[in-house]
Amino acid sequence: LTGYIRTSPLQLPVFAREKVKPPYELRGFLEESVEKTASDHAYFLLWVVGLLLFASNFHPNSGLALRYMKFSLPVFVQPLLLDSLAEAVIFTDPAYLIRGWNPAAESVYGWKAEEVIGKRIDQVLPTEYVDSSREEVLEKFRKDHKWKGEVIQQTKQGIPLYIRSSVAEVKNEAGELIGLIAINQDATQEKAHAAEVEKYRRELEELVIERTQSLQDRIAEVEALNEQLTRLNQELEQFAFIASHDLQEPLITVRSFAHLLQRKYGIGSVVDEAAIRNLEFIQGGVEQMSQMVAGLMTFSRIGSNLSFIFLDLEVVVKGVLEELKDQIQESQAEIQIDDLPIVWGDQDGIHLLLKDLISNALKFHSPNRHPEIYVFAQEREQEWKIGVQDQGIGIEAIHLKKIFSLFFRVHNRRAFAGIGIGLARCKKVIGHHKGSIGVTSVPGRGSLFWFTLQKKK
Amino acid sequence: MNKLGCIFLIDDDYPTNYFHRIIIEEVDCAEEIVICQSGQEALSQLTDRMELGQPTPDLIFLDINMPGMTGWEFLERYQNLPTKAHGKVLVVLTTSLNPDDEKKAHLLDGVDGFRRKPLSGEMLTDLMQEYF
């Protein structure tokens, strides 16, 4: 009944609420049902049902079906009462023989009124209870004289229907049972729809769970790989550190004893030119290896003692130029420094980086001109781009990819001294700053080395 | 330049000790050169000398990177020896290029100086001037 009130599209006029009261025992049941909604429909329905029962009271044992009774009702009520209701309304006598069967019942169950009037209800509509057993329902009905719930019934064609049913006892003024009234709403489609929605929801949920799981698996996989990579990197750095440390000792031994030999057989002693030259090679080799070992040491230590602060790059560059002042004077370099920003970085790392880039620019200048170096900054949305531009010898395109690799050198040692560690070091420093580094170069015209640094912490 | 009584060389590497002995002999700045190839050996030498009433070393050169007992571990035990077993001046002499080692050495009690190998005549005369 409540369902009817909620869903019926009928717009019914309101009849005197106060004057018309539903009679008989049904009153309590109906009032309880409508109290919650307090809608005008409900009062009207009370009135209609009251009228019905009043009419039936004239023929308590006559077995007259509601269908017939409707003729005795006021004319305006007739279409509203039985024909317009969306719910199947079924009336039985106390022996469960069907006495009333409205058009909605016909269309819901497929049985014509003529076919079912006078038959036992359970023969026409075999009923299963959805949420409780038959015994429980009967028990409840005996106690309350009414029952509301969900049932499954079959049409004439044997198609199961999902029905919301309200059943109540009907008594006359003398309190005698005169029958039962059932108001049944076909909720099959609604239920099927809900089941379908539920099915999709479950499928979606399963899919989401599945995808989430596979995503989590992937994340775990990536995390494991990352961890492995980090560990390998640490091991590698540890290895480089220990190797550079331990290689130092035999190198020093070779250097020391080569030195002793040189003193004995070298300049100012009995001359053996070949021996002197050979000793020089030994010492040259040892010297080079010492530099490489020392370079490896500094390279492996980058990142082990980071401390990030806000750095004034102008101050850093000035410090670098101070350290390089001998080379600057010697090469008569012209160095121009633009306004440089304050960046978030590790002071030692950034100092090393700028020193490597500027000393490279000093070193690789064209033979016939003095070095000209321009240091500048470009502001971007998230970061600063810092450039070190020279007018030097430039770099061939084929070398550009490898130029940041450890121990990679473009030139031989006679042309330009060095061990090929500076740019590798720069790249590592920038890596720890989560920035990037690169170069554009035109051979014979010069190179532009640039790197980026984040603006914020 | 005064000649020192005794110099201790604590280093596990034979050629290094051999070379350092040559340098010290060339500079001719010590009556006695004692070579210890491990920290343990140095500790027992120092204890023996104290007990026998022999002069303790004027100068100790200590290597850091040694198997068994590192220079750092030696320094801990050395600090626990009676003061009269100690040398006058202790200089850490190492191949290490790690700046952390130098910082650490300067923070430790009982370490007077830090130098990088190899020992040279020049380094030795500098040390003589600085500490004696």
> Is the pLDDT confidence value at B115 over 60?
yes
Q: Does B98 touch chain A (CB under 8 A)?
A: yes
Question: pLDDT tens digits, residue range A442-457?
Answer: 998 999 999 999 887 6
Q: Residues with Cβ < 8 Å from A305, sequence gap 6 or more?
A: A348, B100
Q: How confident is the model at residue A374 (pLDDT cuts 50, 70, 90)?
A: very high
Nearest CA in chain A to B65: A246
Whether the Cβ atoms of residue B96 and residue B62 lie closer than 8 Å to each other: no
Instruction: Say whether A260 and B19 touch across the interface (CB within 8 A).
Output: yes
Lowest mean pLDDT among A52-61, A84-93, B10-19, B99-108: A52-61
Angle, CA A110 vertex, CA A151 and CA A136 arms, to 5°? 15
Burial of A195 (0-12, 13-18, 19+ CB in 10 A): exposed
Q: How confident is the model at residue A263 (pLDDT cuts 50, 70, 90)?
A: confident
Q: Does A253 touch chain B (CB under 8 A)?
A: yes
> Is the pLDDT confidence value at A360 over 70?
yes
A116 to A111, A120, A121, B31: CA distances (angstroms): 7, 8, 8, 135
Nearest CA in chain A to B12: A249
DSSP A136-205: HHHHHHHHHSEEEEEEEEE-TT--EEEEEEEEEEEE-TT--EEEEEEEEEE-HHHHHHHHHHHHHHHHHH
Whether the Cβ atoms of residue A99 and residue A117 lie closer than 8 Å to each other: yes
Question: pLDDT tens digits, residue range A329-348?
Answer: 999 999 999 999 999 999 99
> Is the pLDDT confidence value at A266 over 80?
no
- Chain B neighbors of A248, CB-CB under 8 A: 95-97
Residue B58: what pLDDT? 95
- 3-state class (DSSP) for residue B112: coil
Number of neighbouring beta carbons within 10 Å of residue B24? 20
- Chain B neighbors of A244, CB-CB under 8 A: 97
- Pick from A244, A248, A257: which is nearest to B19 by CB? A257
- Pick from B98, B100, B117: which is nearest to A252 by CB? B117
Tokens found for residue A39: 């809608």
Residues 11-30 of B with CB under 8 A from A: 13, 15-16, 19, 22
- Chain A neighbors of B13, CB-CB under 8 A: 249, 253
- Chain A neighbors of B65, CB-CB under 8 A: 245-246, 249
Question: pLDDT tens digits, residue range A180-209?
Answer: 889 999 998 888 898 899 999 999 999 999
Higher pLDDT, A40 or A236: A236
Question: Among A201, A132, A127, which Cα is nearest to A163's?
Answer: A127
> Is the pLDDT confidence value at A422 over 80?
yes
**Rounded to a whole number, what is the distance in Å from the CA of A242 to chain B's nearest CA?**
10
Lowest mean pLDDT among A77-86, A292-301, B9-18: A77-86
- Chain A neighbors of B98, CB-CB under 8 A: 241, 245, 297, 301
Nearest CA in chain A to B13: A249
Amino acid identity at A10: L
Q: How confident is the model at residue A50 (pLDDT cuts 50, 70, 90)?
A: low
Nearest CA in chain B to A300: B98
Mean pLDDT of A326-331: 92
Mean pLDDT of A111-129: 90
Mean pLDDT of B83-94: 94
Q: What is the pLDDT of chain A when averaged over all its residues?
A: 81
Lowest mean pLDDT among A12-21, A44-53, A253-262, B39-48: A12-21
Number of neighbouring beta carbons within 10 Å of residue A335? 18
Q: How confident is the model at residue A173 (pLDDT cuts 50, 70, 90)?
A: confident
Using DSSP bridges, classify how beta strands A146-154 and A160-171 pair: parallel, antiparallel or unpaired. Answer: antiparallel
- Taken in order A18, A21, A27, A33, the sign of the CA dihedral is negative
What Rg value do the Cα atoms of chain B yield, rounded?
A: 14
To the nearest 10°, report the CA torsion of A345, A348, A354, A358. 170
Q: What is the pLDDT of chain B when averaged over all its residues?
A: 92
Residue A259: what pLDDT? 86
Distance, in Å, from the CA atom of A107 to the CA atom of A89, rounded to the nearest integer, reads 11
For chain A, what percent of residues have pLDDT higher than 70? 80
Which range is most confident: A258-262, A265-269, A377-381?
A: A377-381
Distance, in Å, from the CA atom of A183 to the CA atom of A85, rounded to the nearest integer, reads 10
> Is the pLDDT confidence value at B114 over 70?
yes
> Is the pLDDT confidence value at A66 over 60?
no
Using the structure block, give the residue that is written with the tokens 């009849």.
A15
